[in-house]
Amino acid sequence: MKVKINDITPEAYRMCGGCGCGCPAVLETDQDSYFIIGKKLTSVAAKQVEGKVAGDEYVIEVEKAMIDDLKLNIA
């Protein structure tokens, strides 16, 4: 089944860097979830969350300001 997505990324963060890849991004799905696109953690940062991430999970990093902007838009 194809998931429907709606890009809710704050405008200031869309297509940063001009690469066209859309990173970072927050996509709302019709499955009552979000897809989040961000940067892979450095090996040092990954060590800091070791033991908190299940085998079927990944940790990514996005700027705090982007999530803060999302919270402001929801309120």
71 — pLDDT class (breaks 50, 70, 90) = confident
Taking the mean position of all CA atoms in its chain, how far away is CA 19?
17
Give 9-49 as a 3 state SS string. CCHHHCCHHHCCCCCCEEEEECCCCEEEECEECCHHHHHHC
The residues pairing with 7 across neighbouring beta strands, listed in sequence order, are 27
Spell out the domain ranges in the chain: 5-74
61 — pLDDT class (breaks 50, 70, 90) = very high
Separation CA 51–CA 20 (nearest Å)? 34
Q: How many CB atoms lie within 10 A of CB 22?
A: 14
Predicted model pTM: 0.76
pLDDT digits over 2-42, tens only?
A: 999 999 888 888 765 555 566 788 999 999 999 999 999 99
Give the model's pLDDT for residue 69.
87
